[in-house]
Structure 1
Amino acid sequence: MNQNYDFKNIETKWQNEWLKNKLFEVNEDSSKQKFYCLEMFPYPSGRIHMGHVRNYAIGDVIARYKRMKGLKVLHPMGWDAFGLPAENAAIKHGVHPAKWTYENIDYMKNQLIKLGLSYDWRREVTTCSPEYYKWNQWIFLKLYERGLAYRKSSFVNWCPSCATVLANEQVIDGACWRCETQVEQKELEQWFLKITAYAEELLKDCDRLTGWPEKVLTMQRNWIGKSEGVEVDFPIEGLNEALRIFTTRPDTIFGVTFMCLSPEHPLADRLCEDKEALRRIRQLQREPEIKEGIFTGKYAINPLNGERVPIWIANFVLMEYGTGAIMSVPAHDQRDFEFAVRYGIPIKVVIKPKDSELSEPLNEAFEDEGVMVNSGEFSGLPSSEGKKAVADYIEKKGLGKKTINYRLRDWGISRQRYWGTPIPIIYCEKCGIVPVPEKDLPVILPENISLTGKGESPLKYVEEFYKTKCPRCGKEARRETDTMDTFVDSSWYFVRYCSLQNEDAFHKEKIKYWMPVDQYIGGIEHAVLHLLYARFFTKVLRDIGIVPFDEPFERLLTQGMVCMESYRCPEHDYLFPKEVKDGKCIHCGSSVTVGRVEKMSKSKKNIIDPDEMIEQYGTDTVRVFTLFAAPPEKDLEWSSQGVEGAHRFLKRVYALIFKHNKWIREIHISESEASSIGMTEEGHAEPAFYCHSEPKRSESEESPISPIISLIHRTIKRVTLDIEKEYQFNTAIARLMEFVNEVYGYEPKTEEERKVFKFAIRNFLILLSPFAPHIAEELWREIGEEGFILNEPWPTYDEALAREQMIELVVQINGKVRSKIMIPQGMSDEEIVKIALDDEKVKQWVNGKEILKVIPVKGKLVNIVVAN
């Protein structure tokens, strides 16, 4: 055994051994319980970043742990390979998107292998391969057959920078989710998927997802946005038309003083003569801080009181919400109030507080419940009762109907780009819209393509692609040249993993065995994008008989971001960390401004290259640091000192084994001996923690074996519970560090002491292996064990042996003993201080006094200094 921890050779050695022995390959076994662990697959951008490392390390610990617990673990990986970056790279560098993508995949795959991740690479999927996107097209055809895929002309979200359409969910605060360019409205023929057909089920089933973070469920519920109300028709004066509105506040209908239409509303062009102003309003769509409108010069009639109501077009009314037209009641809606004040529109109070009057003119809208006034026969009703009474009246008089509305709108999937799945539709002058027959799938992307990134889909200019024959009549026809939104690719990939690459994508028996995913891991930024779409696709696949379940993911873990402070030079703007030395820019010597800690990003150069970290410290160190620095769901602040600390820990583990290497390999512990260590001759846990075969000692002589037995059982218990309870890997690693600190100076002398020590070390290495698998495998062999440590069962603990040993904690206040508390041995200083401050006796002495200092001493004493 080498004296020095040669992590480079160790990690390369075991990565090769794992692959050679196909250690991570898994097949179905109906006699065993399964566990499907999945991290969101990456876009092959070229290199993995620290966010990837953290995400995949979390998943790998779970997968390794569950395997050692005896479960059949499916842990696959693939590539979300279609998308704009590849096309943009092709335009910029003059390389084909396929070449750029596959080269990136090769590089990133090697990076993932270097991280020691336990993936079954036989199941690897690449969404830009025809073998994969054939099934995107197949699913589309099934949606089309069921009326869930349709084409219509509509105003869509257009990103001028990406030169493509965006789904509603891809517009964040009026900007493109990818490039942050302000989104425009553009009228195009588009393909939509009818996700609204599943709105109620998607909403209802949120209640079943007990393993999901509540924050994500809240975001989905809000996005689906169910609301109960009334649809009412407001006739347009002088036209045989009516504006249909939806309102959840029928109790305020007598207070309507103007109507607002979305700029995208079908009647907008007819009612508004100022086309230039209308165009400007359309460009201001989705600007939440700007409220602009145009008075059309036309009026609607309030059907309940006959009043003429001016019709405006306003940028804040979106066509996808409700009917695209709203009744505006400025006295009782703050947005309407601000609009009315700006444009001098009357404000009419129809709800007043229960026990007072509103002072007019109003300074803001009164949006609370109250009593109806100025509302004809409904005046005097509590507004909560008025909602039902007015709704009943509207239905009775045939003026409208009660209805349920959803904020959710159908998913527009047409994209005017090349690098995506071709939509399998043919247009024939005689037959109209004709789906591509299943036998002709996949519709292959042509390789001979000219990319500009401007305007329409480049496939429109590739004759060998768009020119075809109608499969019905055989006449000349043309193909659809838009491609699918790349979120289609990721809406079902987790099902594809259940079968091997050369097998049917929808092998029902294998899907039934592996699905649903037991633990899914990925960023919260996908809460109403990928996660909602994946739920929708799963329900569709269920309804066409492919999957026998309703939801794809049992548990969801949304890991926190990896964050770091940024550095800025007055001459060179943002700097990479390695460009800063002693607070100075290495290029010009200027003093560097240190920015706040925030998400790592290329634009601010506050990033750390995983390859550089692995080269300097090793994969196991990087894994241990990312898992130890914060709980998985919290943001992680990068710390060079923290990385060095993780490396010192692993070097200390290595040194511990090296220290005992001369004898530890020769110690062999049989299964019967292992199970009897720490037990009495009757097979029960010995309260004093003595090994039954340990030589008798005098009462005054402490056994060196007892504390070791107790320590390893406590460590097994703590690590196991930390993993089982919300995946608290940071505290699990802390337990392992405590174990090493406790045993590092121990020198076993007798044969029995050495057996107990090896028993402890053997179990410690198993506990360490999910977090730092390479060093654990190496040291497993160095202590004389055979086989792979990953194939070992997870150790169990005995409750009696794992019981915390109690010690007396003395609490002093200004140097005088004021309390004594029994606490478990081995608690941290932070835990001890909290216990001391929570003690009732201590509270009596410090109550009302300023605490100047709290000083813990060697885990047995706390001195509290208070002002006199």
Structure 2
Amino acid sequence: MEPRWQQAWDQAGLFIADDRSDKPPFYALHMFPYPSGDIHMGHVEAFSLADAVARYQRLRGFEVMNPIGWDSFGLPAENAAIQRGADPKEWTYRNIETHRQTMFRLGFSWDWSRRLHTSDPEYYKWTQWLFVQLFKAGWAYRKDAQVNWCPKDQTVLANEQVINGLCERCDTPVTKKALTQWFLKITAFAQRLLDDMQQLEPTWPDRVLTLQRNWIGRSEGAEVTFRIDEADEDVVVYTTRPDTLYGATFFVVAPEHPSARRWAELGGFADEFDTFLSDVQRMTDVERQTEEDKRGLFLGVHAVNPVNGERMPVYTADYVLMDYGTGAIMCVPAHDQRDLDFARTYDLPVRVVVDVEGADLDESTMTKAAIGEGPVVNSGPYDGLAWQEAKRRITQDLAAKGLGKPAVNFRIRDWLVSRQRFWGPPIPIIHCEQCGTVPVPDEDLPVILPEAEEVDFSPGGGSPLARHPSFSKTSCPQCGGQAERDTDTLDTFVDSSWYFLRYCSPDRDDVAFDADAVRHWMPVDQYTGGVEHAILHLLYARFFTKALHDLGYLDFTEPFTRLKSQGMVVSGGRKMSKSRGNVIEPRDVVAEFGADTLRATMLFAGPIEEDVDWDDVSTAGMFKYLARLARLVDEHVAARSDDDGAAGEQLRRSTHRTIADVTEDYARFKYNTALAKLMSLTNTTTAAVNQGERGPSVTGALEAILVMLSPIAPHVAEELWHRLGHVDFVVMAPWPTYDVAMLVDKTKRIVVQVNGKLRDAVELPAGISQGEAQAAARASDKVARHLEGVEVVKVVWVPDRLLNFVVRDQGAA
């Protein structure tokens, strides 16, 4: 049954978005997948959510664009080439076809006419073109950067290739190495990325916005100038708390700081520094930030504190990173836990300068830093000031002396986009000795990847493209002289930072995207995807959109109007993994129960943003419900009549109430409760049929159920819709409407109590007065016998809900 309807939808072209439709446009977009093997249960949950959104909006009368594609460049394909000798291109497109077949079998309503793959030259031509535009605007640049380096394989590793400090390929300890890399200047947009979140607050999850704010990490403080006494040179430090300067008792620089070794040599610790640096370079940045034991080395020189003239010992330490601030920090151990841990390890002084209420302020014994607010102490002329005022005054006084100034700092760093890999878009830059760095002209794009059989994938240092016999050889487009192509490829996050624009006009070969089409469809009305993409992908997409806006290509600054993130699918509380033997294959479930059962099970499991534990769900239970609904339709069709019976009125009211409730649930992504209410209406309809009801009220209830069920279980809904006698497609039917008047019951079930004990429940007209309700209740034999021989001292009346007689024995005081 399911394949038959899939073919029918496809042949009818139901899901192809029409750019010229008179209907209002709705752009429904799900984060496109990476083609590694077949789709898994996490994909099924995510795609079921995305499809429910698209189908619901289509039923509401929108012209829906719901495209699909693949983020098809990436590391796994290259690993397959290294480990198994596979062609990355063949490996990738074979997996894409596997994905496509499974997606089609699950009945997702993608617009296949807009399908794209980021590894197609027709796509990455425009990825390269966008890079060139950023380069021309000054937002793409090269500089030396520390990268993960495997000394055995002689290759750069991405962060995800470093497992517990070891190379994932050969288990060799990974070190750091300085290489010239390409960066995109996302820091130029940091403040706007923060400010524009106000537009997103009503429609994006708070968790995602918080993660992005923390990643951007805006802070306000001061830049303070310290003098290295022995070297007679100045070093600038950024601090958020200049009010604690009097509490600084030592000074620390990152091991990679450009002056660190020179100072160590000046202080007589050069050999020790070299050993320390080598040890630190074996650690990842995460390890350096999270290790409990902070390690350091005294460099033999001292920094002069500008507020009090004290000479402080200068250390280098593993927990200070070069990419935050200036790579140098003043250390206030009384009020910073890492500094306090370091001070206790190396027996350095601790000085309290903020009187934090309730904190342990014994400088000789404190083990927890006093973090918080309070007046400053031990701070000379600033004693007694509130810390905020001290911060302002100290900064002001330092600025007057030329030793400091107010400053804003961001945690976010510029985006390193160079990858020393093959399977990615070649960076469209030419290096010429005469002309320098020259972008590839538009007419020469794309810079095509060579065939895999021409490439040496064995680890040997640098990019595989650098070892290709002819790829790098070219001529300079400016002077015509001999030149070399850049042999790095772009980070695959670049591909996914603009794909939503390409969907608007995927067949245009003369522009990256058609301006009119983008204006028609964008911004995306509803974006869905995993919360694991909360930071990088979403932040990069927002950055690209703002950059393209500033370059005049877009008239909006935020790409995604609404965002919804789904949870993970786990088994027994743990992530599904082949090594654990707890993987459930979607194909197996579909083969046994059908696609609709799997899709509905996923959306019925709980709130969409929470994890689904497969051990707690019941595909068999969902299958039984859908089968029961089918039997109900068949039973009604076999014996329906033109007239309603006694149960018809109440069934119509239940139908309208369900339409109202389910409509609200869909708008709030509450598919689990929407399904529960559809099941309840199914039960109500079954009860009416069992009472002999066969008229239009049953038909109306079933039609409403099927239309509202179709975004979740479209095949069953389509099949039963046609069994009811319809010739059109349920997936294109209008969403049912409700009459507000039908939401109000004509009668109410009123509970009757005597002294708080239930004595009866009577069906009375809605809105009945208290007096009429009392009279009706007294007429009940069940109530009357409890009122005989007693005195009613009080009557509690809750309109349309409860009547309680408070009584006492006659003659009782």
State if a TM-score over 0.5 links the two structures.
yes
Match of 2:400 among 396, 402, 412: 396
Q: Which residue of 1 aligns with 2:596?
A: 620
Aligned runs of 1:21-60 on 2, under 5 Å? 21-29=12-20, 31-60=22-51
Q: Which residue of 2 aligns with 1:734?
A: 676
Query: How far apart, in 1, do the equivalents of 2:81 and 2:303 lie?
Result: 53
> Aligned pair 1:430/2:434, yes or no?
yes
Match of 1:802 among 743, 748, 759: 743
> Aligned pair 1:253/2:249, yes or no?
no
How many angstroms does 1:462 deviate by? 0.4
Q: Which residue of 2 aligns with 1:156?
A: 147
Q: Which residue of 1 aligns with 2:276?
A: 277
> Aligned pair 1:263/2:205, yes or no?
no
| Contact in 2 for aligned 1:286/1:315 (Cα 8 Å) | no
Distance 1:189 1:819, change over 3 A: farther
Q: Per-residue CA shift, 1:376-424, capped at 9, x if unaligned?
A: 2223323221111100001011102111110011000111111111001
Query: How far apart, in 2, do the equivalents of 1:326 and 1:714 lie?
Result: 63
Q: Considering only aligned residues, what root-mean-square deviation do their CA atoms show, in Å?
A: 3.0
Match of 1:239 among 231, 235, 239: 231
Aligned runs of 1:391-470 on 2, under 5 Å? 391-447=395-451, 448-453=454-459, 455-470=461-476
Provide TM-score, normalisation by structure 1. 0.82
SS at match of 2:315: strand
Q: Which residue of 2 aligns with 1:15?
A: 6
Query: How far apart, in 2, do the equivalents of 1:824 and 1:83 lie?
Result: 67
SS at match of 1:124: strand
> Aligned pair 1:555/2:562, yes or no?
yes
Provide TM-score, normalisation by structure 2. 0.87
Q: Per-residue CA shift, 1:76-109, capped at 9, x if unaligned?
A: 1100101110111122221100000000001101
Match of 2:758 among 804, 817, 822: 817
Query: How far apart, in 1, do the equivalents of 2:169 and 2:750 lie?
Result: 56
| Contact in 2 for aligned 1:468/1:477 (Cα 8 Å) | yes
Query: How far apart, in 1, do the equivalents of 2:403 and 2:220 lie?
Result: 17
Amino acid at match of 1:262: A
Match of 1:537 among 539, 544, 547: 544
How many angstroms does 1:271 deviate by? 2.3
Query: How far apart, in 1, do the equivalents of 2:524 and 2:118 lie?
Result: 19
Amino acid at match of 1:359: D
| Contact in 1 for aligned 2:430/2:437 (Cα 8 Å) | yes
Q: Per-residue CA shift, 1:621-650, capped at 9, x if unaligned?
A: 001100111111111121476110000011
Query: How far apart, in 2, do the equivalents of 1:405 and 1:621 lie?
Result: 52
How many angstroms does 1:373 deviate by? 2.8
| Contact in 2 for aligned 1:811/1:817 (Cα 8 Å) | yes
Aligned runs of 1:323-402 on 2, under 5 Å? 323-353=326-356, 358-363=361-366, 364-402=368-406
Q: Which residue of 1 aligns with 2:576?
A: 600
Any unmatched runs of 5+ in structure 2? 265-269, 767-800, 803-813
Q: Which residue of 2 aligns with 1:130?
A: 121
How many angstroms does 1:500 deviate by? 3.2
How many angstroms does 1:370 deviate by? 2.6
Q: Which residue of 1 aligns with 2:101?
A: 110
Q: Which residue of 2 aligns with 1:522?
A: 529
> Aligned pair 1:721/2:712, yes or no?
no
How many angstroms does 1:281 deviate by? 2.1
How many angstroms does 1:165 deviate by? 4.8
Distance 1:341 1:194, change over 3 A: same
> Aligned pair 1:311/2:311, yes or no?
no
Q: Percent identity?
A: 49
SS at match of 2:583: coil
Distance 1:14 1:546, change over 3 A: same
SS at match of 1:121: strand
Query: How far apart, in 2, do the equivalents of 1:442 and 1:297 lie?
Result: 54
Q: Which residue of 2 aligns with 1:286?
A: 286
Query: How far apart, in 2, do the equivalents of 1:489 and 1:764 lie?
Result: 41
Q: Per-residue CA shift, 1:806-828, capped at 9, x if unaligned?
A: 65476999995399799999xxx
Distance 1:500 1:137, change over 3 A: closer
| Contact in 2 for aligned 1:506/1:546 (Cα 8 Å) | no
Distance 1:177 1:230, change over 3 A: farther
> Aligned pair 1:777/2:730, yes or no?
no
| Contact in 1 for aligned 2:354/2:387 (Cα 8 Å) | yes
| Contact in 1 for aligned 2:305/2:311 (Cα 8 Å) | yes
How many angstroms does 1:354 deviate by? 6.7
Any unmatched runs of 5+ in structure 1? 1-9, 566-596, 669-692, 695-701, 826-859, 862-868
| Contact in 2 for aligned 1:293/1:315 (Cα 8 Å) | yes
Distance 1:183 1:813, change over 3 A: farther
Query: How far apart, in 1, do the equivalents of 2:762 and 2:401 lie?
Result: 76
How many angstroms does 1:308 deviate by? 1.2
Query: How far apart, in 2, do the equivalents of 1:802 and 1:176 lie?
Result: 64
Amino acid at match of 2:418: S
Query: How far apart, in 1, do the equivalents of 2:629 and 2:171 lie?
Result: 47
Aligned runs of 1:165-176 on 2, under 5 Å? 165-166=157-158
| Contact in 1 for aligned 2:508/2:514 (Cα 8 Å) | no
Q: Per-residue CA shift, 1:558-617, capped at 9, x if unaligned?
A: 10111211xxxxxxxxxxxxxxxxxxxxxxxxxxxxxxx123233423221000000000
Distance 1:132 1:821, change over 3 A: farther
Q: Per-residue CA shift, 1:819-861, capped at 9, x if unaligned?
A: 9799999xxxxxxxxxxxxxxxxxxxxxxxxxxxxxxxxxx99
Q: Which residue of 1 aligns with 2:500?
A: 494
Q: Which residue of 2 aligns with 1:211?
A: 203
How many angstroms does 1:315 deviate by? 1.1
| Contact in 1 for aligned 2:71/2:117 (Cα 8 Å) | yes
Bigger shift: residues 233-242 or 197-206: 233-242
Distance 1:660 1:225, change over 3 A: same
Q: Per-residue CA shift, 1:182-239, capped at 9, x if unaligned?
A: 8643211000000000000001111210211111111111111111111011111232
Q: Per-residue CA shift, 1:276-324, capped at 9, x if unaligned?
A: 2111123334321241111111111112222111111111111221111
Distance 1:356 1:467, change over 3 A: closer
| Contact in 2 for aligned 1:467/1:478 (Cα 8 Å) | yes
Query: How far apart, in 2, do the equivalents of 1:188 and 1:91 lie?
Result: 23
Query: How far apart, in 2, do the equivalents of 1:777 and 1:418 lie?
Result: 46
Q: Per-residue CA shift, 1:657-684, capped at 9, x if unaligned?
A: 22233355xx79xxxxxxxxxxxxxxxx
Query: How far apart, in 2, do the equivalents of 1:36 and 1:18 lie?
Result: 20
